[in-house]
Amino acid sequence: MGAGGWQWNDAWIFVSAVIAERLERDRAAHAALPITGAGLADVLAAADFLHHAVPTRQELQDSVRRLAGAGLLIVEDDLIEVAPAGEQLWRTRPFSGLSSAVMTLQAQLNRASTPGDWRYGLPTLRRAPRTDHSPRSS
């Protein structure tokens, strides 16, 4: 755990949420759709992009609980949005590129706030996700 109580996973999930939400904003803007936040799948994809790993269910749940409890994320169902306090934290971080963004953000989190404790449980999947990406036959 960091000096201010934040874990590396918290920063990893926060940076992943920022990336996923930015991509979702771009998609929505190009399609003239309302901006609704990033889905869990998008956050997981961004986490995989950053660290070449996918967080466990418990890691994701714990980090979202801590980040939302601190007022840095807004969560509704399976949509995650960066809250205004999170936007401020992201905009005022020392810019270091994506390769070191997680470590930079963990230091920033430890200086800026303490982890919160918000009741959150990941939604249960209703069906198993497809593992292949081949077209479905009709």
Place 131 in a pLDDT band, splitting at 50, 70 and 90: low
Q: Is 82 helix (H, G, I), strand (E, B) or coil?
A: strand
Do residues 115 and 9 make contact, with C-beta atoms less than 8 angstroms apart?
no
Place 3 in a pLDDT band, splitting at 50, 70 and 90: low
Q: Is 93 helix (H, G, I), strand (E, B) or coil?
A: coil
Taking the domains of the chain in order of start, what are their residue ranges?
8-112
Q: What fold, for 8-112?
A: Arc Repressor Mutant, subunit A (1.10.10)
On whether the pTM is more than 0.85, the answer is no
Task: Name residue, tokens 């292949």.
Answer: 132
Closest listed residue to residue 123, CA positions, set 77, 54, 65, 68: 77
Those residues whose C-beta lies under 8 Å from the C-beta of residue 76, and which sit 6 or more positions away, are 37
